[in-house]
Amino acid sequence: MSVDLLRTRRKSVSRKASDSEVFRSGIIAELDAISLYQSQIETSDDAGLKELLKHIRDEEKEHAFS
């Protein structure tokens, strides 16, 4: 199973969005990315790819939770 990252659903924020809406949208995007990378880790048979995806997933976690 492969995922085309360029075709994944993206949410946009209107120009009049409040700061809290912008922040919330950003956190949701980070959580979506974490979920995507985690699902790819679980379905991949390629050990090298899994390590790369784990690294990227962990960076997304830092963005979301730091």
Q: Is the pTM of this model over 0.75?
A: no
Arithmetic mean of pLDDT over the chain? 84
Q: Is the pLDDT of residue 7 over 90?
A: no
Dihedral (CA of 40, 42, 45, 47) sign? positive
pLDDT in the model for residue 8? 47
Q: Region 16-36: what's the mean pLDDT?
A: 91
In sequence order, what are the residues at sequence separation of 6 or more whose Cβ sits closer than 8 angstroms to the Cβ of residue 57?
33, 34, 37, 38, 41
Kindly indicate the confidence band of residue 60, based on its pLDDT and cuts at 50, 70 and 90. Answer: very high
Q: Region 37-50: what's the mean pLDDT?
A: 98
pLDDT in the model for residue 63? 87
